[in-house]
Structure 1
Amino acid sequence: MPRRLNSAVALCALALAAGGGIAQEPGSEAWNAQRATLFSQVCMASAPDYDDIDDRAKAAGMARQDGVWVAEPEIVINLIEHDGFCDCIMSVSAPDQRAMIDKVFAQLMADFGAEFTGAPDGLASVAPFQRDGIEVVSILEPRSYEDGKWLSARTAVFGKCPIREAGK
């Protein structure tokens, strides 16, 4: 019995280890899903006033570092006030930018689809939602830098941010 039990435990451990490695592979379905969920749970869920963004980021397992919220090796979320708008911006690595955009949009529709006000066949990269009677626009922009492909995912709301930008 101990030999068979040890073999079964070893096989289960190997399967879990292999599954964990695949889940963290950049650009994998699980990689994209984790980042899409974070964007939905932190940026869109805290819009339009962003008053509870800190609580939502903490609940999502993010850590405050140098005035911004961070997770994993490359996920950064911050509020930025500009030109009369307050944006919650999430920057993430996106080896397959189209797959990441599709995943983020699908997550937003799953979580907030009843509040979607865009055309049913509209673009996933710019999507308007009504949150508490205020328009919140999700903007998903692919970016390329020397270190690879990224996605800038943001929710934009007309008005001032409730907290100051990082570094101020």
Structure 2
Amino acid sequence: MSRRLNSLIALSALALAAGGGVAQEPGNDAWNERRAALFSKVCMGTAPGYADFAATAREAGLTRQDGVWVAEPEIVVNLVEHDGFCDCIMSVSAPDQAGMVDAIFDRLIADHGEQFTGLPDGLASVAPFRREGVEVVSILEPREYDGTKWLSARTAVVGTCPALEAGQ
């Protein structure tokens, strides 16, 4: 993914974070688990075809805002097509980046573990799964922007993103 796209996602997440209160203490277990559950349900749960992406995002409590799906004050999720891949990318504030990576990996294994094709001892940063006969790779990338820690969590699938209806 390009640096420009990463910067735009980071800026979107930071702008949204400034806009509202937070129900959980940033970085605690509940904070991390909420975001892990969203990633597992919306990104991994709709991969590899992402056909139900918009409906699943809506069911998970995300709302469409300025072309991306948002929740809480700083969760941004969207489908991005690039370089022959369709990625579902979730950008979130992650005060405890290691805790967030662990929470997401643990949730993916709990929800989709039978489809995990990686090493038995686990690899949280890049984790391959086979869903519907297609490889779906989960990539968890800790980032920092202007002193704020966040995480880019994505599922990557070879191919094009589905055409979503206007307004989705």
TM-score with structure 2 setting the length: 0.83
Q: CA deviation at 1:49?
A: 0.3
Unaligned runs of 5+ in 1: 1-20
- 1:147 and 1:55 map into 2 onto residues whose CA distance is 34
- 2:22 and 2:78 map into 1 onto residues whose CA distance is 28
- 1:72 and 1:121 map into 2 onto residues whose CA distance is 33
Q: Which residue of 1 aligns with 2:14?
A: none
- Are 1:23 and 1:30, in contact at CA under 8 Å, matched by a contact in 2? no
- Answering whether residue 162 of structure 2 is matched by residue 162 of structure 1, we say yes
Per-residue CA distance 1:30-56 (angstroms, 9 max, x = gap): 000000000001000000000000010
Aligned-residue CA RMSD in angstroms?
1.7
Unaligned runs of 5+ in 2: 1-20
Q: CA deviation at 1:163?
A: 2.8
Trace 1:25-104 onto structure 2 (pairs within 5 A): 25-104=25-104
Q: CA deviation at 1:22?
A: 9.7
- Are 1:23 and 1:29, in contact at CA under 8 Å, matched by a contact in 2? no
- 2:80 and 2:119 map into 1 onto residues whose CA distance is 27
List structure 1 runs of 4+ shifted beyond 6 angstroms: none
- Answering whether residue 117 of structure 2 is matched by residue 117 of structure 1, we say yes
Q: Which residue of 2 aligns with 1:129?
A: 129
Per-residue CA distance 1:48-102 (angstroms, 9 max, x = gap): 0000000100000110001110001100001000110000000000001000000
- 2:101 and 2:59 map into 1 onto residues whose CA distance is 24
- Are 2:22 and 2:72, in contact at CA under 8 Å, matched by a contact in 1? no
- Answering whether residue 138 of structure 2 is matched by residue 150 of structure 1, we say no
- Are 2:22 and 2:73, in contact at CA under 8 Å, matched by a contact in 1? no
Q: CA deviation at 1:119?
A: 0.7
- Specify the code of the residue in structure 1 equivalent to 2:109: M
- 1:122 and 1:102 map into 2 onto residues whose CA distance is 10
Please state whether the residue corresponding to 2:154 is helix, strand or coil.
strand
